[in-house]
Amino acid sequence: MLSIDPATNTERENYKFLIGSIIPRPIAFVTTISKDGILNGAPFSYFNIVTANPPMISLAIQRPEGRQKDTARNIIEAKEFVVHIVDEQNVEKVNKTAAILPPDQSEIELANLTPIDSIKISVPGVGEAKIRMECVLEHSVELGGSESPGSDLIIGKVVQFHIDNEIYDKGRINPGGLAAVSRLAGNNYAKIGEIFEIERPK
């Protein structure tokens, strides 16, 4: 087995080890609004649950070459955002939003996604997602980087869930109906695949 000190690697080499090892990763499609009122949308696979009491999620938004991304800046300024689960039906459109656009252009328009009003926050979501979560900013932390931060860690509190009726069943979500997709490395994605059950020890 290889044993490698990450301090001897380049950032790119460590990145490849991380995204190739930590798989599959759930994908958050995040909408935000800029201070100029532009609806921004972008996918992120450094995404997970933080706690259920209260419901919170995390996003780690990387800073390429030290440059803060529009999504992180918008969240920190407006303190609101919407997280959508990426699924087999919307992944192609969501992928289009990963294009690098100037801050005054909307990825939502580029991908022909449908804005839909939120209930508790001012940021719209998109209608193509089976699950969306209205969030308010709980914490933001600048992380990493030897000379400047390498990432913005965002902790958001979910203030409203929206769940498609077709996948909701007595307080649970049908994973087959949701058909979430996950991120692997390179251009590769994964579907849910075979589901199996193992009972936890008492």
Model pLDDT, residue 147: 77
Q: Tell me the per-residue pLDDT of 48-68, one tens digit each, with 9 for 90 and over.
A: 999 999 999 999 999 988 899
Q: Tell me the per-residue pLDDT of 5-51, one tens digit each, with 9 for 90 and over.
A: 999 999 899 999 999 999 999 999 999 999 999 999 999 999 999 99
What DSSP assignment string belongs to 18-77? HHHHS-SEE-EEEEEE-TT--EEEEEESSEEEEEETTEEEEEEEE-GGGPPPHHHHHHHH
Count of CB atoms within 10 A of residue 95's CB?
A: 16
CB within 8 Å of 64: residues ≥ 6 apart? none
